[in-house]
Amino acid sequence: MTDINTKFEFPERLRVVYEDVRARLKPHDDREGTFTGFPDDGKTPFEDAFRKYADEPYIIKLAHGIVDSWLMSEPRIFPREMIIGFPRPIRPVYEHFSSGIEVWAVKDEEKRKELEKLLIPVTDEPMHREGERRIGDPKAYSFITQNMWWTGGYQGHTICSYPKLLSMGLDGVLEQIDFYDGKVDPSDKKKKDFYRACRIIINGISDWILMYADLAAKMAAETDDPVRREELLVNERTCRKVAHEKPETCLEAAQLMWFFCLWDWVDCIGRFDQYMYPFYRGAEDDDVITSVFMKFWEHGVHNVTVGGVIPETGEDAANPITYHVLQIMRTLHETHPRMTVRVHENTPKELLDLVVLMWSEGMSDPSVASDWNVIEGLTDIGVPLRDARDYSLLGCQEIEIPGKSNTGCEDGSINLAKILEYTLFNGMDMKENYKCAPDLGNLTDYKTFDDLWAAYVKEIEYFTPIYLDLCNMGVDKRVANVSKLVKSTMTEACIERGLQHDEGGTVYNHGVIETGGHGAVGDSLYALKKLCYDEKKLTLEEVYEALKVNFEGHEDVRRMLLSAPKYGNNDEGADEMAARVLGQFWREIAKYKSRRGDVFTGACSLLEGGIHYGKGTWALPDGRYAGEPLGNTIGPRTGSDKEGLTAMLSSVAKMPLKLGVGGSTSNVLIPTYMMETQEMRDDIAALMKTFLKMGGQLAQITTAPLEDMKDAQIHPEAHEDLIVRVGGFSMKFIEFGKDTQDEFIMRYSCCS
């Protein structure tokens, strides 16, 4: 559907589905977590499985628990659905791909401790004890974890190989498991157990799909409506087919991928328009695509990537599905699923026109990604060109090769501004008034800028190996807890190697570190260099004394610091300093390897982390008060860009983003009034394409006018459809807390 001027409308049958979904739609956070609510049914599948199979290896007990948790869940088919399938209930004990079995929702403390001992081999405790040992002071370590980093974090999102699933079918995957199991020495119990567990999972999925087939048959027999009966019989036939065989039609392919997506926690689905296209017969299958997309919408798929290039040839990959799914999202006008359009030299004008048109109508999706930057960045860290061309977005704005990767998807995040605070105050955490870092000196001790820079680099070099070792202990925890067992069955190389996802089973195993505060650090260092070291308009003592008291009584010093050029305004000196800071850290982490096997790379998509880290960071020489937000993306610190959109994008494009191919996105404000005419929309399309071509990596768009945000704080009921973008995901403005709302208003007040 390339006629972008004709807005998509749901056909009659799917209009019923749409209204039904709309009526039961859950809030944003529940959809993010695929949270269905805790059922009061008293069922305890994981505890039961671990007791029933007490003598079996952990991975086998876990596999049975996962399968039982699905098989004891009642299947649900809603009116007129073409694609069926509903998440299992989330009971107080459940498994999740981020860390394995979770028991936090068990309210009885004694019972929770009992279940932890029974179900969870490794918790975060070893990581924290090691952190205390390495830092040398438990109290200092606690302040560092509050204000400077988190380690061994989410480490969750990945994209399973949907092309593998659709080309092999579930029985084909079982044959693959049997083939590689047959090559393993019988004495290799670990691999043998892994293959047994994978079989249990795949057979469990097949049995669960057949439960849906039986339900559809039962409902068909009970209805008096011949049209509905035939619809249900189609559901039944489709389910019986894909429970074992590989799909042949678009309906079968969509149904199978959705069933597996449910077992994968409705995570990220990769390049949907590419792997579905071989099954697509044209407009007659548009209803199928629409139906599965309504499932994505209802249950919170985290990211869908479309467009880009064909991996084998580098030619444009856009096809009719690309346009159709964007039109569906345009009509839904919603925050789920998140969508990304890959942009390259030969991206069709019609596709960019549709993207900008969606923005002009008030949407924050889709984001846009640069094939120029990402593909080259991936090849620089050893990914072959063919696979680099096949990259996809996942999670909020992370990057990986779909079906072949475990990039950690946030092994951790770090606040570079806190490291600068330690550098300026001889290792003191000024917020906590506690010593947290080695003695290197105070600001007044650095007689030249090179001395100051060397001290900052030394602090980075001190903290980096400690920090990355703790991140790797997060990997160890996930290996012990077999956190990605379901994903391992459908990710290339895991079956071939006989290794689970987190122990290096996938083809690509890079680490990813979310990085914040580089803008504030760059601005601070540049202000000191310019005003103190070069022009000598301020003394180091004056700045040091002002910083110590959070500028109280030193507004003249603060004003001068604020007057120094800032990153985000296309000033060469300020931008170069921000790039220097970012490059220093990202080159440092690239010296180390993730426990999964490949080097660490950088990323910047902190969600609301820039607000959190800002609260924990003292006043800085860029003129920032203690506690003010830092920034949630690769762009400038909140409120520091004053020269408009083009200048901000030019600054971001100068950053060393090829070193940060974990996913480094930019917040971009383009209010709807800037896209009212075709000419204005053409200008925006050209600007964004130039940004992506000249060095930008990712851009996420907020189109809500500033005045609407301000009014929404006063009259939320009048702005229920006001969508904004924060560090990786879209959400309705009124659903954010006031701190985040205020950060949005502060962020965009400077450029309105």
pLDDT tens for residues 343-395?
999 999 999 999 999 999 999 899 999 999 999 999 999 999 999 999 999 98
CA 616, 618, 659: angle at the middle one, nearest 5?
70
Domain assignment present for residue 722? The answer is no
Residue 718: pLDDT band (50, 70, 90) is: low
Residues 6+ apart with CB under 8 A from 631: 516, 517, 519, 520, 606, 610, 637, 638, 667
Which pLDDT score, from 0 to 100, does residue 27 have?
85
Looking at residue 750, what is its pLDDT? 52
Domain boundary among 263, 290, 310: 263
Query: Same structural domain for residues 259 and 402?
Result: no
Tens digits of residue pLDDT in 614-667? 999 999 999 999 999 998 789 998 788 889 899 999 999 999 999 999 999 998
Q: Cα dist. 243→88, 145, 419, 611, 687 in Å? A: 18, 46, 54, 46, 48
Helix (H) or strand (E) holding 622: none
- Record the tokens describing residue 749, joined without a space: 């007040």
* Paired strand residues for 342: 307, 369
DSSP H helix total and E strand total for the chain = 30, 17
Residue 695 belongs to some domain of the structure: no
C-alpha 263/C-alpha 253 separation (Å) is 16
Residue 715 located in a structural domain: no
Determine the pLDDT at residue 745: 66
Instruction: Look at residue 545 in the predicted model and tell me its pLDDT.
Output: 98
Please check whether residue 53 lies inside any domain of the structure: yes
Q: What pLDDT is attached to residue 395?
A: 83
Q: Based on C-alpha coordinates, what's the Rg of the chain?
A: 26
pLDDT tops 60 at residue 751 = no
Tell me: cis bond preceding 92? Omega within 30 of 0 counts.
no
CA distance 662 to 398: 5
Q: DSSP 3-state assignment of 642?
A: coil
- Would you say residue 600 lies in a domain? yes
User: How do residues 293-351 score in pLDDT, each as one tens digit?
Assistant: 999 999 999 899 999 999 999 999 999 999 999 999 999 998 889 899 999 999 999 99
Using the 3D structure, point to which of 209, 233, 263 is the last residue of a domain.
263
Domain range for 214 is: 37-121+162-263
pLDDT value of position 69: 97
Return the half-sphere exposure (C-beta side, CA atoms, 13 A cut-off) of residue 524. 31
pLDDT band at 409 (very low <50, low <70, confident <90, very high): low
Q: What's the burial of 693, exposed, middle or buried (CB within 10 Å: 0-12/13-18/19+)?
A: middle
Domain assignment of residue 311, yes or no: no
Give the end of a domain, one of 208, 243, 263.
263
Burial of 125 (0-12, 13-18, 19+ CB in 10 A): exposed
Amino acid at 59: I
Q: What is the pTM of this model?
A: 0.94
What percent of the chain is predicted at pLDDT more than 70? 96
- From its phi and psi, is residue 482 left (phi > 0), alpha (psi between -120 and 50) or beta? left
Report pLDDT for 719: 64
pLDDT grade, residue 178 (50/70/90)? very high
* Cβ(558)–Cβ(624) below 8 Å: no
- Tokens for 25, please give them: 């739609």
Q: State whether 402 and 550 are in the same domain.
A: yes
Least confident among 32-46, 209-223, 319-333, 545-559: 32-46
Strand partners, 730: 725
In the chain, the number of structural domains is: 2
Has residue 673 been placed in a domain? no
What is the average per-residue pLDDT within 276-288?
97
Q: Give me the helix-helix angle, 58-71 and 189-222, nearest 10°.
A: 10
Model pLDDT, residue 752: 47
State the residue for tokens 């950690």. Answer: 408
CA distance 733 to 730: 9
| 350 domain-assigned | no
What is the average per-residue pLDDT within 25-45? 83
Q: Determine the average pLDDT of the residues in 414-440.
A: 97
